[in-house]
């Protein structure tokens, strides 16, 4: 298929190597998928300001996220079912992120557990928390993350009610997955995936099974997950979560300036401008379009991060220019994982680093921390520079 030069190349390969139900789980949005598509396409409306005859030597992509040094303004976003894209996917992605010098965020709904990842890495990673009805289970998750040495807690706020994703329903995907003849045929056409999965013991939601009340096997897990997302979650819950955790707290799922202001009042350390990758409220604005107003509202009071639609180093640069302290990538690292496991995630990092570094130089800048709206010609109808 030729050399792997961009994230799109990884996507093409992953689509061939990962069973359809799991690839579609990652590569889908809710309802019409309009927000999912806008997350990507709206980056095209941000135009860069080229500068020439400037010193482009000694460039640096290094910055910080909630006080932690990172090699570039990127973290791996929390993704459920990651270990079904490739065997032990969370462990492999965490190892690649560790070697590259950026944070990995483990999802509550991961296949590999908090302990699995901690046993197979040497540096702290982050943990993403879904607030469930069973508060004892939530408190236990927080305590387990602390015991594992996780260095930041990412609290997802926009999954109180699950958005409908047509691809998952058509594929019959469930938690845990049911292997019908159709599913078995899909799996059978992906021999490399099968061989890798056959060699791991990690095939269920290991953060939950054996830890949540009454969840000891796959059938009881299915019933538990169907009723556990808490629709009563409110801003008041952030206080007890912060107290229980005791470290940096990042709130994920902010898409409106008023909610951003409430996040400041809650005492959080950072927010992630996010629409859950277009998987929740279809018809909501793209994350990059929502970013500038949120930055203007709260960036002098807390760090603003962004996720959704980032497919290149140029997208990272555009987000930073619009005021994001850092960014998160989800689907791109899944494509790398499905293509080559850990090596594929590393290749994704290499691609994005090169694109970001080259673009920054052509914009006449040497430090990613000095990027701003002055490096843009225009965005969403507004002119800069």
Identify the pLDDT of residue 221.
77
Identify the pLDDT of residue 182.
87
User: Is 274 inside any structural domain?
Assistant: yes
Catalytic residue among 166, 183, 211, 276: 276
Identify the pLDDT of residue 175.
57
User: Is 1 inside any structural domain?
Assistant: no
Identify the pLDDT of residue 253.
98
Active site residue 166: no
Q: If DSSP codes are grouped into helix, strand and coil, which group holds residue 296?
A: helix
User: Is 2 inside any structural domain?
Assistant: no
Identify the pLDDT of residue 148.
98
In the chain the first and final C-alpha atoms are separated, in Å, by 41
User: Is 360 inside any structural domain?
Assistant: yes
Residue numbers of the domain that contains 199: 7-383
Q: What proportion of the chain, given as a percentage, has pLDDT over 90?
A: 87
User: Is 372 inside any structural domain?
Assistant: yes
**Residue 274 is part of a domain; what is its CATH number?**
3.20.20.70
User: Is 164 inside any structural domain?
Assistant: yes
Q: Is 160 exposed, middle or buried (0-12, 13-18, 19+ CB in 10 A)?
A: middle
User: Is 256 inside any structural domain?
Assistant: yes
- Distance between CA atoms of residues 296 and 351, nearest Å: 31
User: Is 75 inside any structural domain?
Assistant: yes
Structure confidence by residue, pLDDT tens digits, 8-43: 999 999 999 999 999 999 999 999 999 999 999 999
Identify the pLDDT of residue 354.
98
Answer whether 0.75 is exceeded by the pTM: yes
List of the chain residues with pLDDT < 70: 174-177, 218-219
Identify the pLDDT of residue 227.
84
- Structural domain tally of the chain? 1
């Amino acid at each position: 298929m030729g050399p792997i030069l961009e994230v799109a190349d990884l996507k093409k390969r992953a689509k061939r190597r990962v069973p359809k139900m799991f690839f579609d789980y990652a590569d889908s949005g809710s309802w019409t998928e309009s927000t999912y598509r806008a997350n990507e396409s709206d980056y095209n409306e941000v135009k860069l300001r080229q500068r020439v005859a400037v010193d482009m030597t000694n460039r640096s992509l290094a910055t910080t996220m909630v006080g932690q040094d990172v090699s570039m303004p990127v973290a791996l976003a929390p993704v459920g079912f990651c270990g079904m894209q490739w065997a032990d996917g969370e462990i492999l992605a965490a190892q690649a992120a560790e070697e590259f010098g950026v944070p990995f965020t483990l999802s509550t709904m991961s296949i590999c557990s908090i302990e699995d990842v901690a046993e197979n890495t040497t540096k702290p990673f982050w943990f993403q928390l879904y607030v469930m009805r069973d508060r004892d289970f939530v408190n236990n998750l927080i305590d387990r993350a602390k015991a594992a040495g996780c260095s930041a807690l990412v609290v997802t706020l926009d999954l109180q009610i699950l958005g409908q994703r047509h691809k998952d329903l058509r594929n019959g995907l469930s938690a845990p997955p049911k292997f019908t003849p159709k599913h078995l045929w899909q799996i059978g056409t992906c021999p490399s995936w099968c061989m890798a999965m056959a060699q791991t013991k990690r095939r269920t939601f290991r953060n939950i099974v054996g830890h949540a009340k009454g969840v000891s096997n796959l059938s009881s897990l299915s019933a538990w997950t169907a009723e556990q997302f808490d629709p009563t979650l409110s801003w008041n819950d952030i206080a007890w979560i912060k107290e229980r955790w005791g470290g940096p707290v990042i709130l994920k799922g902010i898409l409106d300036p008023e909610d951003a202001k409430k996040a400041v009042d809650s005492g959080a350390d950072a927010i992630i401008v996010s629409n859950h990758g277009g998987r929740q409220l279809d018809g909501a604005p793209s994350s990059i379009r929502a970013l500038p107003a949120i930055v203007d509202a709260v960036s002098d009071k807390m760090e603003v991060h962004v996720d959704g639609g980032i497919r290149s180093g140029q997208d990272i640069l555009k987000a930073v220019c619009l005021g994001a302290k850092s960014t998160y990538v989800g689907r791109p690292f899944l494509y790398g994982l499905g293509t080559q496991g850990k090596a594929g995630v590393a290749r994704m990092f290499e691609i994005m680093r090169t694109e970001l570094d080259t673009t920054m130089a052509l914009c006449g800048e040497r430090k990613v921390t000095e990027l701003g709206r002055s490096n843009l010609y225009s965005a969403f109808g507004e002119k800069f520079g």
